[in-house]
């Protein structure tokens, strides 16, 4: 059994493994889960945004597939985007991400976890230049609010916390860490436990 953790409507997993049918998609968005059931026949489970732990047994899944999710597991969305202090945001977000990583390791026999790399030349949520990760949080929030109301092609809410290679490696010590490269730069990180 495979768990597509944070898989939304299951589109990404299905594009990679179209023949695989023993899949559970777990996500916080009910509409996306309905689509995963309708389009692909996947089993689904709605997670609560406030929950830190996952409602699964130890080693329940043969494989956990989690792509571009952990950077957004930073706390309840209704509150996290209001935190303007760098240290406060980092403390809350880091705690949630580390618990989430531990939960993946607990419930999976094998896993694949992918996340955008913090220092890529383009910040992947906003499509702004990568240097925005160095802005103080209050300035980042202000910038994103501005770009969300202009001609900028994407809308981004400041709920993400991107990871470094070192921190990601420590979150998944039993995995091999691979790097995806683009234009000569590390674009994303993958923790693979086979």
Distance CA 57, CA 35 (A): 26
pLDDT tens digits, residue range 108-149? 999 999 999 999 999 999 999 999 999 999 999 999 989 988
pTM for the structure as a whole: 0.93
Residue 67 phi/psi, 5-degree rounding, is: -115, 120
Cα 128 to chain centroid distance, Å, stands at: 19
Query: Residue 97 carries which DSSP code?
Result: H
The DSSP code for 134 is G
Tens digit of each residue's pLDDT (9 = 90 or more) over 41-55: 999 999 998 888 999
DSSP assignment letter at 111: E
């Amino acid at each position: 059994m495979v768990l597509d953790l944070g898989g939304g409507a299951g589109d990404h997993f299905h594009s990679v493994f179209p023949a695989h049918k023993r899949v559970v998609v777990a996500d916080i968005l009910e509409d996306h889960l309905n689509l995963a059931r309708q389009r692909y026949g996947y089993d689904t489970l709605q997670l609560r945004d406030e929950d830190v732990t996952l409602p699964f047994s130890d080693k329940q899944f043969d494989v956990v597939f989690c792509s571009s999710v952990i950077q957004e597991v930073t706390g309840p969305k209704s509150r996290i985007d209001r935190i303007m202090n760098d240290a406060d945001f980092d403390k809350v977000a880091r705690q949630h991400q580390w618990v989430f990583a531990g939960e993946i390791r607990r419930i999976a026999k094998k896993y694949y976890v992918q996340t955008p790399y913090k220092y890529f030349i383009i910040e992947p949520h906003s499509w702004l230049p990568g240097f925005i990760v160095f802005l103080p949080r209050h300035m980042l929030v202000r910038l994103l609010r501005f770009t969300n109301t202009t001609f900028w092609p994407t809308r981004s809410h400041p709920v993400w916390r991107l990871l470094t290679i070192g921190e990601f490696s420590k979150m998944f010590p039993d995995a091999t860490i691979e790097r995806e490269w683009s234009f000569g730069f590390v674009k994303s990180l993958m923790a693979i436990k086979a």
